[in-house]
Amino acid sequence: MNRRTLVLYTRNRCPLCDKAKSIIMELKEEWDFHYKEMDIDLSDDLTEKYGLMIPVVEIDGTEVQYGQIDKWTIEEGLQDKKKTKKLNYSVAPAKIKIRAGVIFFIPSGTRYDYAGHIMSIRSKRGKKMNSIIDIQKRLLPDLLAIMQKRYQILHYIGLMEPVGRRSLAVSLNLTERVLRSEVEFLKGQSLLVITSAGMSLTSDGKDLLNQLREVMRDITGIQALEVKLQTTLGIQKIIIVPGDSEQSPWVKSELGRAAADYMKSTLKRKDSVAVTGGSTMAAVADRLTPDFTEFELLFVPARGGIGEDVKNQANTICAAMADRTNSSHRVLYVPDQVSQEMYSTMMREPELKEVLGLIKSASMVLHGIGDAMVMAERRKTSENDMDSIVKEKAVGEAFGYYFNEAGQVVHKVQTIGLQLQDLAHIPHILAVAGGPSKAKAIASYLKQAPSSTVLITDEGAANELIKNLNI
């Protein structure tokens, strides 16, 4: 039997590619095959073909899997053609649904949940297929690749509309020729419109984008990633948005959207929300809408100001959130760091006491998680304190507390506002942070965070967490 040839199409800074290579190296110990690795960034043609699909595994010239690579599928592809196993599941009369050029295969025996979402299919040999997407990945991988590409185009337009073609091509790493072809197709499907200001989604485009969101989470394996991390970290819930906010700035806007959606599903009328500062919280403010008006919310800053970046201070963000939701807000005009003497003096102020009471009785806390060194430098920390933070190996920061990798508090800034112990009395705690560089900070904070915490993060941070936690 001739040796098979396996090619892995990859690129630098691709966590899924690293995972795929690890799986292939395991198989190399069991199977005799030639292995070749191709960096798509070295070829315009490969970048155009596989830019939205990597990693891609090809065996003897045939693409067998892309995106989330698993050992079982690659092993199937490596078997001798005469002995290759065939999928052995029962396919009853099926529904065929075509939308935006994508075919959805839905066997009539498929189980649905209460909301009408596909739950599972069971094969004759008893192997449960977690989603209909698993079948489509094996039978129609090219169509799924098209769906991913078109979803990303619609998704980015929805975030940035109106947006120009050149800006869109650069952001999605597509050539203008490829993008022009896709845009014309989507326009023909009445999913977007093109004006002198740029491209925007139609109402049909927005509806389809919402329908595809959960499908894409299944395709990319995000739901499985959420379950794995939630179990390991022991918190109430983890919500992961696609992408890496450090590679694609628009992903931060997606973090904001996910936070806004969670707030809308959780808050009740007359609730109050305590908010910290930072660019991620500013992104959440940008995604709030007048739909919140009926809640009659009150936004309060969880703590004083920080540094000189006024637009990212808690007071400014609270004002923006209140403005976008037609709600009320209070201010806390105190420095981020204060001496013990100033702290004692200010705590006697009646107006300040009132605001602090509102903060500590908030229904929800909305906060970010920072890298320890970045936050220490931003606060213009004294040399002595900086030496202490470095010596104690702090990696994360939240609410003015610095944590080491074990989750222990190794340094604390004297601040006026929400304290770590206050979180135990607040019903809803929503932490929002993304990017691989934040992974250690996130893990350190969550080791001592209340179990009621909900984390909203991105794929970049989630994959790095998986790697660091060895799960």
Please indicate, yes or no, whether residues 18 and 139 belong to a single structural domain of this protein.
no
CB atoms within 10 A of CB 301: 28
**Structural domain tally of the chain?**
3
pLDDT tens for 30-70 read: 898 999 999 998 888 888 888 878 899 999 999 898 887 88
**What does pLDDT average to over the chain?**
83
Average pLDDT over residues 89-104: 40
pTM: 0.67
pLDDT tens for 299-326 read: 999 987 645 567 889 999 999 999 999 9
For residues 36, 40, 44, 147, the Cα torsion angle rounded to the nearest 10 degrees is 120
Please indicate, yes or no, whether residues 26 and 152 belong to a single structural domain of this protein.
no
**Residue 153 belongs to a domain with what CATH number?**
1.10.10.10
- Output phi, psi for 265, to 5 deg: -80, -10
CB 388 within 8 A of CB 412: no
Q: b/e per residue, 102-118, with b = 16+ CB within 10 A?
A: bebbbbeebeeeeeeeb
Q: Where in the sequence is the domain holding 125, given as residue range(s)?
A: 86-220
What distance in Å separates the CA atoms of residue 23 and residue 324, rounded to the nearest whole number?
47
Where is the domain boundary, 158, 193, 220? 220
What distance in Å separates the CA atoms of residue 468 and residue 464, rounded to the nearest whole number?
6
pLDDT tens for 162-184 read: 999 888 888 787 888 888 889 99
**Residue 10 belongs to a domain with what CATH number?**
3.40.30.10
Please indicate, yes or no, whether residues 285 and 403 belong to a single structural domain of this protein.
yes
CB atoms within 10 A of CB 327: 20
Residue 458 pLDDT exceeds 90: yes
**Short-list 87, 126, 127, CA closest to 105:** 87
Q: What percent of the chain has pLDDT above 90?
A: 48
Please indicate, yes or no, whether residues 301 and 415 belong to a single structural domain of this protein.
yes
Half-sphere exposure in the Cβ direction for 326 (13 Å, CA)? 8
- In terms of DSSP bridges, do strands 56-59 and 4-10 run parallel, antiparallel, or are they unpaired? antiparallel
**Short-list 182, 175, 124, CA closest to 149:** 182
CB atoms within 10 A of CB 423: 19
Average pLDDT over residues 108-131: 39
Please indicate, yes or no, whether residues 62 and 113 belong to a single structural domain of this protein.
no
Please indicate, yes or no, whether residues 68 and 107 belong to a single structural domain of this protein.
no
One-letter amino acid for residue 460 of the chain: G
Please indicate, yes or no, whether residues 245 and 209 belong to a single structural domain of this protein.
no
Please indicate, yes or no, whether residues 160 and 236 belong to a single structural domain of this protein.
no
**Short-list 160, 282, 139, 148, CA closest to 222:** 148
Where is the domain boundary, 178, 198, 220? 220
**Short-list 219, 189, 217, CA closest to 201:** 189
Please indicate, yes or no, whether residues 78 and 90 belong to a single structural domain of this protein.
no
- What does the pLDDT read at residue 393? 95
Classify residue 260 by its DSSP letter.
H
What's the Rg (C-alpha) of the chain? 25
Residue 119 pLDDT exceeds 80: no
Average pLDDT over residues 376-381: 88
Residue 266 pLDDT exceeds 80: yes
Please indicate, yes or no, whether residues 326 and 463 belong to a single structural domain of this protein.
yes
Where is the domain boundary, 199, 220, 241? 220
* 23 sits in which H/E element: helix 15-28
Please indicate, yes or no, whether residues 190 and 253 belong to a single structural domain of this protein.
no
Task: Specify the 3-state DSSP secondary structure of 379.
Answer: coil
Please indicate, yes or no, whether residues 90 and 169 belong to a single structural domain of this protein.
yes
CB 429 within 8 A of CB 399: no
pLDDT tens for 214-254 read: 777 777 778 889 988 998 998 999 999 988 999 887 889 88
Q: Name the band, by pLDDT with cuts 50, 70 and 90, for residue 96.
A: very low
